[in-house]
Amino acid sequence: MGLAPWCLLFALASGLVWWIVHGGGADWMEGWRAWLFIDGPFGGFWNAEQIRLYFLLLWVAGLVWFVIGLFVPGARGLS
């Protein structure tokens, strides 16, 4: 994957996480909708704070992978 698509993909993922953490997405996602985004059988039972934490931690892991992918093109996955 080239650098531009790599950056675009991270920007889109960051936008989704921003909406979930700051834009009311976690409140909208509470209940059965959480099963669409959260792995595991108990995702539908999570409250908004747990959903925010889950996506924030996923974003931090994605940030680390993004930075590695900036310097190591083979880490981008689709080389």
In order along its 79 residues, the chain shows pLDDT tens digits of 888 999 999 999 999 999 999 998 888 888 777 777 777 777 778 888 988 998 999 999 999 999 999 998 888 876 5
The single-letter DSSP state of residue 16 is: H
Structural domains counted in the chain: 1
The single-letter code of the amino acid at 79 is S
- What domain range is 71 assigned to? 3-76
CA angle 35, 38, 44 (to 5 degrees): 40
